[in-house]
Structure 1
Amino acid sequence: MESEFTHLHVHSEFSLLDGFGRIKQLVKEAKDLKMKSLALTDHGVLFGAVDFYKACLEEGIKPLIGCEVYVSPRRLDQKEGNIDTNPYHLVLLAENNDGYKNLMKVVSEGFIDGFYYKPRVDHDYLRKHHEGIICLSACIGGEIPRLIIEGQLQKANEICQMYQDIFGKGNFFLEIQDHRMQKEAQVNEVLIDFSKKYDIPLVATNDVHYVRKEDAEAHDVLLCIQTAASVDDKERMRFPNDEFYLKSSDEMSRLFIDVPEAIENTNKIAERCNVSFDLESAHLPEFELPEGESSAGDYLRKLCETGLKERYQELTPEIKERMDYELDVIHSMGFDNYFLVVWDFIKYAKDHDIMVGPGRGSAAGSLVAYGLDITTLDPLKYNLLFERFLNPERITMPDIDCDFCYERRQEVIDYVIRKYGADHVAQIITFGTMAARGAVRDVGRALNMPYNAVDKVAKEIPMHPGQNITIEKALEENSELRKMKENDPEVSKLLDMAESMEGLARHASTHAAGVVISDKPLMEYVPLYRNGDMITTQFPMGLLEDLGLIKMDFLGLRTLTVIRDALENIKHSQGKEINLDNIDLEDSKVYKMLSKGDTLGVFQLESKGMIAFMRDLQPEHFEDIIAGISLYRPGPMDQIPRYIENKKSPEAITYLHPILEPILNVTYGCMVYQEQVMQIFRDVAGFTMGRSDLVRRAMSKKKIDVMDQEGEVFIHGEVDENGVSIIDGAVHRGVPENVAKQIYAEMKDFAKYAFNKSHAAAYAVIAYQTAWLKCYYPTEFMAALMSSVMDDEKKVSKYIEDCRKNDIKVLPPDVNVSYDKFSVKNNKICFGLGAIKGLGKNAIVSIVNARESGGPFKGFRDFCEKVDLKALNKRMVEGLIKSGAFDYTGSTRAQLLLGAERMVDQVQREKRDRLAGQISLLDFGGNSSLKEDFLPDVAPFTKEQRLALEKEVLGLYVTGHPLEKYENTLKEKTNLNSSMLDSYEDLRDSGIRDGGAVIIGGLIDDIKNQITRNGKLMAFMTLEDLYGRLEVVVFPNTLEKYRPLLTVDHAVIVRGKINYNEEMNVSVICEQVYPLSLKADIPQVKEERTVYAPSEQKEKLVIHFTDFTQKPLLKEIKSVLMKTPGQVPVELHFEKEHKKFGADKNLWVSVCDELINNLEAILGQNKVEVLK
């Protein structure tokens, strides 16, 4: 019979890039090995504690929560290189809940005060927080083992007894390990002797870093990834053998057959360890009520009623009923305090003129949030549902996400910290994981495979933002990738190894917006982590919610900063104060602008595809913007042609049943929103809204068993055990059974794509506000827009081009007009001083203060005299001159550059003299001081020289462009420019996919040469076009062929292929180079030219299916379509159901005989047609 054993020294993937064991796999393996308990002891962290706890409970295994902490050789405050950089290891296990709290404190302290290369604690801190903790002396990295290896046996003896003293007799164990290492044998011999001498119990462990023995190679590759090494590097960090896995009880017993008590003690420790996590209670912050208020619920009601009276003037029965219902649900779920907390910090922001968004997410469906001024869109008017936000039939934490001005978001967080205490508030950790493509590249580098071979494999894995395309899924869908794996053992090994890494936690970072606030100090509930200067939780947001902690999102939205600056610009330039909450959301002038596609800079509506969509849609009402934001996404995009067609011909709209018309008429008969799915459940079948939301969630997550069960209820209803009807069902309500089934099938198919209308509506408000500002105050709006992207030269260039198209003049900086940001004067935009490279904040403040206190600068000398030249050095003055900031003086930039240093020196000397009490000749009517006519008489710069100087200091051209004479040539001869690469969506909408053929043109701005592994020269080139910059990669053979053309400032046209990486950074692989001239003769790339615009398509490929039973053929058809990419849209027609679906744009094709033949081979003759 196999003896029992418990692993007490186990590392998971949360020992980042060191542990290879996924938590669920470790726990499953322990169960398969018939173990009753298992510990988790990651290096220095408790990242995986809650996941591990839950996984163990699911498998019926007892979880032991621990950590292998790092112990500083000296005090925590001592941080000296070569002494404090290599701390000792020590294993700590929580014996009970008090011990777990102490363990959290120890682990948190390691990051908060002890971090020095690693999170460290010292002996004193352990002594203060030892209660309830069982300590093991750790591996050969432990303090006692290291001293033994160094031969310091007396010191090891003293430390041994010190730990016994810290943790108490029976709570400290000497840990012995056997991974077939000579040093371990040396250490074990001494530890066994110490055990006998000092009556300290032994415990046997295996230093588990992966699950099974065969995982050793993958773990070795992971170490290579961590250390940026390859498996061929002889000097790299590596484990000595393959013994660091989760061994069976029998294997461990055989290893320690001479010390059976060391095995027995693992189970004794496991029996003693009893930690339980409270996954039921909530720990929401307590809102301090004003004097005289008795309860949070009553105060919330009072605030809500007051706010709604201001909103509606009169509380009608409908409003009162909805308010009472929501308040009752909020109170019954225990969230009164939560709403007051959110109300309070939103109020603080608005009281301090910090721009706050109109709402975000499902909270926009709450009338209470509207009454509290948390949201600003009327949920009753737009039919937004409270249950989509808070479902009384599904107890979850509320989630009100808040958008703030990007520049002042931190002020709101600081307020919350002051109000609730720094120890009650923290930001939230998040973990970056290894995605499919990244894993392939990482593993390829570690295996020392050729870059091109790895790149070819990685490129076969499709990429879509927001979608996790796994290697398994890629192999399933991509026949080319399957062939590569089947035919090449090296590729097969690469993909298998990468698949084993996929999804592993790679690094910890801080969630962009999440903040947690608790009723007690956070360390009572969660360990803390340091990320730079920021303290975060060690658990991500989902697990914080499991522990009853509330997460709030404080998002910095750059568009709100744009709106704020635009309103300020309007106030300064026109003297008007605009309140955007009062503008008409149905202004026809705004919708005409949107319909023309003039949406650059308009929130959510400025991508190339969205511009084309707006032109086709011709929006006329606010509901059209809500629908547009909801539809323009992968999946729902297939509904766009039908939506547009129905909008143009409302008389042709048909409904499966009249009961659907009031629900779907707002979207022209199309199902667009999650809320519509919920309403159909309620109105057609009699579901409660709470249960409707539960079924909608099940549909979106494709829970087949739930969908099948609820489908029957939807059609035929449900009764309780006494036969009393709970839900009527559609048939009982007069809907024919076949129609009910069809309605349910449509919902089931669409629910996974349906969008949250509350969120779309809230964001549609911001979209409309920016559109309104662009429509009525375009100059002020564009100035604010450019200020928001001042550090992004490509975007500034794009917006300047948009200004040019709309007859808005953009001027260079001017010291008499400009501020830090772009500003408006006389209906023209003046460049911001903050855009000038090297001109710091202090210099800008000095210029603006001098101008405002002493009046406009009369000339260059007057400028030098008035500004504080201590804040403005000569290099900064030259930057101002080069940018054009002194053009108002009438002197040329060439004159000013040559004479500036002399003038600055003279003025500084005069200032010093005055301070020293000396009187210059000028004071007696003399004329020794330099005046404006001191400037040398030199020829002005040529246009090219002037533009080059602007580019040098501003990063772009302002008063012209070297390529403007080639503008028409570039439009005719190229199919890609830098403005099309602002986002993956823009690239997708251009019709050019990864690997697609492109022609680009521009000036060579920079070339960096690099030696390849084979000793050949390649280059990375930056090409500047009329809108920004493009990165071009030139491989050795191409570089050698075209080297004479590839010089800086040379105008060229490049033919090549698009290449984009995991971060969606786009470059072009150069294949051919031509000189750019007005008569450039360049072969066209016709098939890659079009941008999404449904009305411009002249043909489409239609594939006919008999009915939905043929859906399993879609995978095979998809594979065929992907082999002939092009610009012809594809439609799928299911004849029996009378359904039409547009294929995603990445499946559009080039029509050819081979394509038709391949499709008909799957579906049969006459099933494929091309319609003109």
Structure 2
Amino acid sequence: MSGFVHLHNHSDYSLLDGACRISDYVRKAQEFGMKHVALTDHGNLFGALHFEQACHKAGINPVVGCEVYVAPKNRFHKPVSGPKSYHLVLYAKNETGYKNLMLLTSRGYIDGFYYRPRIDDELLEQYHEGIMASAACLAGEIPRYIVAGDWEKALAKTRYYNDLFGEGNFWLEIMNHGIPEEETVRHGMRRLNKETGIPIIATNDVHFITKDHYKAQDIFICIATGKKLDDKKRLKTESPEFYFKSEEEMQALFPDFPDALENTLRLAEQCNLTIPQSEPMLPHYEIPEAFSDPKDYLHHLAAQGLRERYPLAYKDDAALKKIIEERAEYELQVLCDMGYSGYFLIVWDFIDWARKHDIPVGPGRGSGAGSLVAYALKITDIDPLKYDLLFERFLNPERVSMPDFDIDFCNERRDEVVQYVYDKYGRDNVAGICTFGTLKTRAVLKDVSRVLDIPFSESNEITKLVPGSIQKNDDEGEEESGEKKKIDVKTALALEPKLQEFYQRGGIYKDLFDVAAILEGMNRHVSTHACGQVIGREALTNYVPLIKDQKSQDVVTAYTMDIIEHCGLIKMDFLGLKTLTLLKNCERLIRRRVRDFDLEAIPENDEATYKMLGEGKSDAVFQFESSGMKRILRDAKPSSIEDLIALNALYRPGPMKFIPQFIDSKMGRTRITYPHPDLEDILKPTYGVIVYQEQVMKVAQIIGGFSLGKADILRRAMGKKKEKDMAKMEEEFVKGAQEKGYTEKLAKGVFEMLKPFAGYGFNKSHAAAYSVLAYKTAYCKANYPAEFWSANLGNSMDDTDTLKNYLGHAKSEGIKILPPNVNLSEQTFTVDKGRIIYGLKGIKGMGQAAATAIISARNEKGKFSDILDFLIKVDRKYLNQKVLETAIYSGLFDSIESRNRATLVQNIEKLLAFTQRRQQEEESGQGSLFEEAEEDLETSFQWEEAEDWSKSRYFEMEKEHLGFYVSGHPLDSYRKRWEKTVNLDLGNIPKSSPNKQYSILGMIRNIRSFFTRKNTKMATAELEDFNGSIKLTLFSKVYEKYEPLLTEDAIVGLTGSIEIRNDIPEFKVNEIVKPEELKEIEKKELHIELADMEYTEADMVDLRSFLQERPGPGRLFLHLPGEDGHTIIRASSQISLSLDESSLELIRERSAVISAWKE
């Protein structure tokens, strides 16, 4: 046996080309008994470290290489015709070679990218030490010369590379995939070998693992190129032979080249690389001369910060001061002993810079909020003593790991902080981090279906049949919430009979699932991680390869987040959080009427805030706006930030099952008990329920006598269900408990109690930080609703659906939305006398440049008198026909123009030409007309009058450009009909019984029809009335009957019933009629829904008196939530009252009333 080695292999890191995972190569090499194997992905080292680690684990020598692209002239030249690059395979012999490979591939992306990352001879001459090379495939420069018959160039390039890399470091290369040109190359390579003595290696250009994966790789290329499999002109895999062959198969292919097979081993044996790995090496942080070292400076900053954070303790409370200083000294000792003083200073520095530059910084994220030193340095803004947060959850002295601060910044200004870090530590030392998009289960089925030309309707049905994957806790929960298996193609096929029916059809349907199962999970594209940055002590190319993101043009690491810290680099997460931007803008708006308003000084026990949250009115409140969370808020009636922290921690998969117990205990319906009185202080804030990981740790400390560091290790072992570790620690726990005087029975019972909660429990530090942000947003909403919604609208101008949603919420809360006004509107939404003025940037198609120009002109030259004045004053380079049309359609000039919008649009071209001439005359000094007696522009311009648009045209344009109606509502002509026929106001949808029949009237939107699993057609749509909207469901028989009436923007009457799905009401349609055919309803009932546990006897007396003052024919029904969660309707025969709209609005404003409506 020659000991053949595969030296030319492409994994899925050769993006959308290599259809094989690194683990497949290593497994196959083991199976064939191979002692060496190479990885030579196209132009990159994405997989190098993963590959090296996998090989060493399997006892195989990794040959780390790369098939680079070499530019024909130089890496800066971009040829229009001819070859753009040639292939060349490089192998790292040692650490020096690996570092040079990193430099070469990095420069290829940063300097030479042109379709591919290209290097050139100049770079090879500079960075060739420690590298061997081979002539590559048919795309190599030497093989191309041979195929073209240009022997002199082939010989010259061969000698060049041999001289460059040195004797024994350059190899000729031959292949045999059954491609005719390869035979020509083999003969040429033999001739070169005879003339130069340079040895030959035989390789297989491996792109997939077994021969039967040929079709999968071919389809992979189709996915990359957007082609279909039956496209005869497409790029395709030329042969099924590009797979990982056995030594025997290779020998059969090269009977005349035995030395070429043996040479592969010779080459591989010269490659003895272990990629250097180390703990993160912190960049040098310059400290002021007055301090001896980073530890000294950190102690100084911490001491200074503690005095600022706790002025009263340092002034009057010696006992608290002692607690503070002992905790701080302990933390400082731990982090300095672990070598992290420099890390804290680096983080402190860029956060301090952000604060000094008025960039909002989050209160904390993750376990870092548990550090008192971080709080003192204002890295975090959550008092860990106040909220009983643990330092050991962040940095455990008994389990060495790198601290990890994830920092939230204002979304709009995050990049400024990143730029500061680049400037401080140098562009060569800081970069983003790459991440890979992979072929997910549904996506790969869609992609492969398209390539196989499976009808879209069928591929859509197939992907919908795939069960959803199991959700995990979010990134701060750390452990999985359950043991259910993640859904993949094979699992979905096994679970879903209808998918099996498709598979059993055979042909392309069988191919679909077989190929999708092979390609699933493979890398599809590379991009930049949203928030991660790395900082190196030296230039990053000394540690990792780099690439340039072709979309953003940012330089990022070629290694992913999970392995970057093994390369001597520290990782920082700079996250952009829109909520911080929202709060900053909200504070700015509030200060226009309350000058000294400060969000940091708001009371934590604001009654209006907790009342609003307790009613579930938490739309747009950070972390609490989902329908499920609204329901829990209504049930739990939070009355403190501690309650919000607990609900935030509980509302996620796993711990969600404990929410009823938490609520019942809080509301006094269940007696709160503790396993032992010593645990009351720990569990009392959460009403006896273990909610947080920190509680698990404290229980282990109190009962088991564990240090908090050891308790954190126990928590992790329990969370990850490490049975061996848990068994050992249970012995220690029981023994420690007995030594503290607890019984064995109690100790074992408490240990068993902790097990599920250690997995489900959430990080309190993270929950506390985000709940404080949530409270601030809720406070603004409850006390300054116009400013709150204005800030939200401004925060959502790039998201049409959210903007529309927030506009609806603001209007439903009685806040008036004023249309854009050329003399009042600013860039974003603003508030005037409790009304929201539409922002210029909120007009679709306006653009920031045009909005800025309008405001600048208004500020510098005064308000606009009419559209001509506007066009004279505003810099014309920002105003084109499209921008002006958009402005007119949105009603921007309605306040200054007497002419209708149709006339303005009719004259756009003339207006632009006329005012441009006037501007040019003025600029050239010929504007005498402007200097004479203020000639009226209006008389100089010849208007072409146009007939005004219909109301529906106005509505259409306003809705399109603004997202809401300005000049009225499409239903205005039906208002009387609506009042007489409707018994369901879509702005006040009750939690009604499904048997209750309703009549509604409105405009149809967003129709979507589709086939059911029974192959019958049904539809969903949306109906909008004056006050709100509701989703419609039309099942097959109803849809078939009324399809002609179901058209976009049609105004119709509907009858049907309400169903609640996932806490969201849907209208199940029974009948569709024209508005005039909807039967009139004599409304005789007033229904009032009261908030659970919110009203007092005084509230009820007040409501009764109010109703008795408004007598009329209507009967009263009160809706009271019952213990089983269902609504009880209790009628009163003693009160009859008025049903007019003004009375209804006043009732809705009463204390304890959630909603009120007529039936």
TM over 0.5: yes
Deviation at 1:925, TM superposition (A): 5.0
Aligned to 1:957: 965
* Partners of 2:135 and 2:142 within 8 A in 1: yes
Q: 1:268 to 1:888 in 2, by over 3 A?
A: same
Paired residues for 1:703-782 under 5 Å: 703-714=722-733, 716-717=734-735, 728=736, 730-782=737-789
* Partners of 2:467 and 2:487 within 8 A in 1: no
Deviation at 1:527, TM superposition (A): 0.5
1:948 aligns with 2:956: yes
1:555 aligns with 2:554: no
1:846 aligns with 2:853: yes
- Match among 465, 473, 488 for residue 471 of structure 1: 488
Paired residues for 1:575-590 under 5 Å: 576-590=595-609
* Partners of 1:135 and 1:167 within 8 A in 2: yes
Deviation at 1:213, TM superposition (A): 3.4
The SS at the match of 2:694 is: helix
1:883 aligns with 2:887: no
Instruction: Return the letter of the residue paired with 2:383.
Output: D
Aligned to 1:43: 42
Number of residue-to-residue matches in the alignment:
1047
- Structure 2: distance between partners of 1:219 and 1:541: 28
Summarize deviations over 1:144-169 as a string: whole Å, max 9, x none.
11221222222211111111122111
Unaligned runs of 5+ in 1: 718-727, 981-988, 993-997, 1011-1017, 1057-1063, 1082-1090, 1097-1127, 1132-1172
- Match among 814, 828, 831 for residue 838 of structure 2: 831
- Match among 218, 221, 243 for residue 220 of structure 1: 218
Paired residues for 1:134-533 under 5 Å: 134-313=132-311, 314=313, 316-463=321-468, 466-467=471-472, 469-471=486-488, 474-475=491-492, 478=495, 480=497, 484=501, 494-532=512-550, 533=553
* Partners of 1:3 and 1:253 within 8 A in 2: no
Summarize deviations over 1:1103-1154 as a string: whole Å, max 9, x none.
xxxxxxxxxxxxxxxxxxxxxxxxx9999xxxxxxxxxxxxxxxxxxxxxxx
- Structure 1: distance between partners of 2:730 and 2:1077: 66
> What's the TM-score, normalizing by structure 1?
0.82
> What's the TM-score, normalizing by structure 2?
0.83
The SS at the match of 2:409 is: strand
The SS at the match of 2:65 is: strand
Q: 1:919 to 1:392 in 2, by over 3 A?
A: closer
- Structure 2: distance between partners of 1:1029 and 1:69: 58
- Structure 2: distance between partners of 1:1037 and 1:169: 82
The SS at the match of 1:556 is: strand
The SS at the match of 1:134 is: strand
Paired residues for 1:705-1104 under 5 Å: 705-714=724-733, 716-717=734-735, 728=736, 730-889=737-896, 891=898, 893-894=900-901, 896-897=904-905, 906-918=914-926, 925=933, 929-930=937-938, 943-963=951-971, 1003=1003, 1025=1024, 1045=1045, 1049-1051=1049-1051, 1074=1072, 1077=1075
Question: Which region of structure 1 is more displaced relative to structure 2, 695-704 or 363-372?
Answer: 695-704
Q: 1:237 to 1:1019 in 2, by over 3 A?
A: farther
Deviation at 1:709, TM superposition (A): 3.5
- Structure 2: distance between partners of 1:238 and 1:408: 46
Summarize deviations over 1:797-844 as a string: whole Å, max 9, x none.
222222223221110011121111001112211000112233233332
- Structure 1: distance between partners of 2:842 and 2:859: 20
Deviation at 1:731, TM superposition (A): 4.1
Aligned to 1:1168: none
Aligned to 2:1156: none
Deviation at 1:420, TM superposition (A): 0.5
- Structure 2: distance between partners of 1:65 and 1:1080: 76
Question: Which region of structure 1 is more displaced relative to structure 2, 613-622 or 768-777?
Answer: 768-777
- Structure 2: distance between partners of 1:484 and 1:753: 39
Instruction: Return the letter of the residue paired with 1:881.
Output: I
Unaligned runs of 5+ in 2: 315-320, 473-484, 1011-1016, 1057-1061, 1080-1088, 1095-1121, 1126-1159
Q: 1:797 to 1:137 in 2, by over 3 A?
A: same
- Structure 1: distance between partners of 2:496 and 2:885: 60
Deviation at 1:289, TM superposition (A): 1.3
Deviation at 1:632, TM superposition (A): 1.4
* Partners of 1:202 and 1:261 within 8 A in 2: yes
- Structure 2: distance between partners of 1:1130 and 1:674: 31
Summarize deviations over 1:974-993 as a string: whole Å, max 9, x none.
9999999xxxxxxxx9999x
Aligned to 2:713: 694
Instruction: Return the letter of the residue paired with 1:379.
Output: P
Q: 1:712 to 1:72 in 2, by over 3 A?
A: same
- Structure 2: distance between partners of 1:624 and 1:950: 43
Deviation at 1:495, TM superposition (A): 3.6
Aligned to 1:4: 3
Q: 1:713 to 1:1070 in 2, by over 3 A?
A: same
- Structure 2: distance between partners of 1:1070 and 1:169: 81
- Structure 2: distance between partners of 1:198 and 1:937: 88
Deviation at 1:963, TM superposition (A): 5.0
* Partners of 1:783 and 1:822 within 8 A in 2: yes
- Structure 2: distance between partners of 1:46 and 1:979: 59
The SS at the match of 1:813 is: coil
* Partners of 1:976 and 1:999 within 8 A in 2: no
- Structure 1: distance between partners of 2:275 and 2:603: 52
Q: 1:974 to 1:453 in 2, by over 3 A?
A: farther
Q: 1:1028 to 1:166 in 2, by over 3 A?
A: farther
The SS at the match of 1:752 is: helix
- Structure 1: distance between partners of 2:642 and 2:980: 36
Deviation at 1:254, TM superposition (A): 4.1
Aligned to 1:1140: none
Q: 1:519 to 1:918 in 2, by over 3 A?
A: closer
1:542 aligns with 2:591: no
- Structure 1: distance between partners of 2:177 and 2:931: 90
Summarize deviations over 1:1073-1115 as a string: whole Å, max 9, x none.
956637669xxxxxxxxx9x9999xxxxxxxxxxxxxxxxxxx
* Partners of 1:922 and 1:929 within 8 A in 2: no
* Partners of 1:474 and 1:481 within 8 A in 2: no
Instruction: Return the letter of the residue paired with 2:463.
Output: A
Instruction: Return the letter of the residue paired with 1:692.
Output: A
The SS at the match of 1:188 is: helix
- Structure 1: distance between partners of 2:985 and 2:62: 57
* Partners of 2:287 and 2:293 within 8 A in 1: yes
The SS at the match of 1:503 is: coil
* Partners of 2:803 and 2:963 within 8 A in 1: no
Deviation at 1:743, TM superposition (A): 2.9
Instruction: Return the letter of the residue paired with 2:629.
Output: M
Deviation at 1:870, TM superposition (A): 4.2
Summarize deviations over 1:243-299 as a string: whole Å, max 9, x none.
323223333344334333222222222221122223333222211112232211111
Aligned to 1:675: 694
Q: 1:880 to 1:218 in 2, by over 3 A?
A: closer
The SS at the match of 2:658 is: helix
Identical aligned residues as a percent? 43
- Match among 98, 105, 108 for residue 107 of structure 1: 105
Q: 1:271 to 1:1034 in 2, by over 3 A?
A: farther
- Structure 2: distance between partners of 1:115 and 1:977: 56
* Partners of 1:9 and 1:41 within 8 A in 2: yes
Instruction: Return the letter of the residue paired with 1:502.
Output: E
- C-alpha RMSD over aligned residues: 4.2
Deviation at 1:334, TM superposition (A): 1.6
